[in-house]
């Protein structure tokens, strides 16, 4: 949604005033040029009280701070607004992120990327939260150097995290929204880990914070998505118990509101908008070679154990799955630097292998959950044993999917 902000004087329904304001603003260059003013109507209104001030820090940053309290209202469906907005007006950009982190620690705030018009549209459509969407791959220039690529990779991963984490922080328990937060976190951790050589500013502590949130959000997925995935298997086997007793997972809203998680996101945001001085000065050719090296390394760590996947302990199988995910996510991020047809073939094989290993992992997680449940409910032993035996089937399917990426020619070679 594109937003055009115009200050009007007079009642909100003064269309003549709006017409004059549009002409003065130069809206004739937009699609509004072909829209008769009389055809415009109010879709939603936002009523807020705004407090505004400017903050100047010791380094010379000029930050405009606004506090909006009110409601976007559509008929009788109000939704409260309490938003603190920060806008950089001059001086070092880092001051913006430092102030954001201070407010998070001081006031328990969290990042929200839903803008006023989007929030109003959501209320008008009676949507409690924005629907989950998949993040697009970044648009890359073949001549992009190391700092440029790293910034684009970070922004792409952050876009997926922030677009969904705000809804979770507001109370959304939608499984797909939580899943997209976790995918975004995995992509972000991949960028930070595989791109560490591109920026000495990456703090080792970031990964631990992001990993903890990822794991806590995964508890809810195990209770909902994994349970639903194995249920048809158990129904077909006439299992006496089809689901395990939930052990109680962390509240997703509290997980993403947690101050260390939010301040880590702010720190990564700061790096994603930092100058070249915070990145390694790699030329376009050197940056592409580094990416190819990381992709080859991940590929090797996947295919070597993948040939004997069924014989690996579960912990090793899980490690292969994590490396496969990193390989796929890094390949998706770097895809714009390579021919589309070659990239598509590789991503299709990587996606199929990831799906096969994901199904295997779901069965393993469910088997472990039923074993724990059997301590109190003896009827859970059937499901635990059946799923444990079924791991041979899913393990074989995973190994076959992995073999399809072993000998194929890859776009990064």
- pTM as predicted: 0.86
Give the Cα-Cα-Cα angle 177, 181, 182 (nearest 5 degrees): 115
What's the average model confidence in pLDDT over 266-279?
95
Closest CA to 221 of 190, 187, 257, 183: 183
What's the average model confidence in pLDDT over 293-321?
94
Task: Look at residue 219 in the predicted model and tell me its pLDDT.
Answer: 85
Q: Is the pLDDT of residue 118 over 70?
A: no
Q: Is the pLDDT of residue 26 over 70?
A: no
Closest CA to 247 of 127, 376, 95: 376
Q: Is the pLDDT of residue 377 over 80?
A: yes
What's the average model confidence in pLDDT over 243-249?
80
Dist. CA 46–CA 73, nearest whole Å: 6
Closest CA to 309 of 199, 396, 185: 396
Bridge partners of 65, per DSSP, are 53, 86
Give the Cα-Cα-Cα angle 296, 301, 307 (nearest 5 degrees): 115
Q: Are 310 and 392 in contact (CB under 8 A)?
A: yes
Task: Look at residue 240 in the predicted model and tell me its pLDDT.
Answer: 93
Q: Which two tokens stand for residue 351?
A: 């996606």
Higher pLDDT, 309 or 113: 309
Q: Which two tokens stand for residue 321?
A: 């799955």
Residues of the chain with pLDDT > 90, as a percent, come to 61
Of the candidate ranges 24-28, 45-49, 216-220, 358-362, the one whose mean pLDDT is the lowest: 24-28
Q: Which two tokens stand for residue 243?
A: 């689901």
Of the candidate ranges 1-5, 358-362, 373-377, the one whose mean pLDDT is the lowest: 1-5
Q: Is the pLDDT of residue 130 over 90?
A: no
Higher pLDDT, 27 or 351: 351
What's the average model confidence in pLDDT over 119-147?
74
What's the average model confidence in pLDDT over 343-352?
91
Closest CA to 44 of 19, 6, 79: 79
Residues of the chain with pLDDT > 70, as a percent, come to 83
What's the average model confidence in pLDDT over 57-65?
92
Confidence tier at 400 by pLDDT (50, 70, 90): very high
Task: Look at residue 282 in the predicted model and tell me its pLDDT.
Answer: 92
Dist. CA 230–CA 179, nearest whole Å: 18
Contacts of residue 321, defined as CB under 8 A and 6 or more positions apart, other chains included, come to: 354, 357, 358, 360, 361
């Amino acid at each position: 949604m594109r937003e055009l902000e115009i200050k009007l004087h007079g009642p909100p329904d003064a269309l003549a005033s709006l017409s004059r304001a549009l002409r003065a603003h130069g809206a004739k260059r937009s699609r509004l040029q072909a829209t008769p003013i009389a055809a415009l109507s109010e879709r939603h209104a936002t009523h807020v009280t705004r407090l505004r001030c400017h903050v100047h820090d010791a380094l010379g940053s000029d930050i405009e701070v606004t506090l909006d309290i009110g409601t976007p209202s559509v008929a009788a469906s109000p939704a409260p607004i309490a938003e603190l907005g920060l806008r950089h007006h001059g001086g070092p950009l880092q001051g913006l992120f430092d102030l954001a982190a201070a407010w998070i620690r001081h006031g328990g705030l969290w990042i929200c990327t839903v803008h006023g018009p989007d929030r109003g549209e959501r209320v008008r459509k009676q949507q409690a939260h924005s629907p989950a969407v998949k993040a697009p791959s970044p648009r890359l220039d073949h001549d992009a150097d190391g700092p440029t690529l790293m910034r684009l990779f970070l922004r792409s991963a952050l876009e997926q995290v922030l677009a969904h984490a705000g809804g979770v922080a507001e109370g959304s328990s939608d499984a797909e929204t939580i899943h997209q937060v976790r995918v975004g976190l995995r992509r972000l951790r991949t960028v930070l880990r595989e791109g560490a050589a591109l920026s000495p500013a990456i703090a080792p502590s970031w990964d631990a914070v992001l990993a903890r949130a990822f794991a806590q959000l995964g508890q809810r997925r195990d209770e909902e998505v994994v349970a639903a995935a194995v249920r048809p298997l158990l129904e077909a086997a006439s299992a006496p118990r089809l689901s395990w007793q939930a052990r109680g997972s962390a509240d997703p809203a509290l997980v993403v509101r947690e101050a260390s998680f939010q301040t880590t996101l702010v720190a990564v945001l700061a790096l994603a908008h930092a100058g070249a001085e915070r990145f390694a000065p790699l030329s376009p050719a050197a940056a592409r070679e580094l990416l190819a090296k990381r992709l080859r390394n991940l590929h090797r760590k996947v295919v070597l154990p993948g040939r004997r996947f069924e014989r690996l302990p579960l912990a090793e199988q899980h490690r292969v799955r994590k490396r496969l995910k990193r390989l796929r996510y890094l390949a998706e991020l770097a895809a714009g630097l390579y021919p589309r047809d070659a990239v598509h073939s590789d991503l299709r094989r990587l996606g199929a292998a990831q799906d096969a290993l994901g199904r295997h992992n779901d069965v393993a997680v469910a088997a472990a959950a039923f074993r724990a449940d059997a301590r109190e409910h003896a009827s859970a032993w059937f499901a635990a044993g059946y799923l444990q035996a079924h791991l041979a089937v899913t393990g074989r399917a995973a190994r076959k999917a992995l073999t399809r990426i072993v000998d194929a020619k890859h776009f990064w070679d």
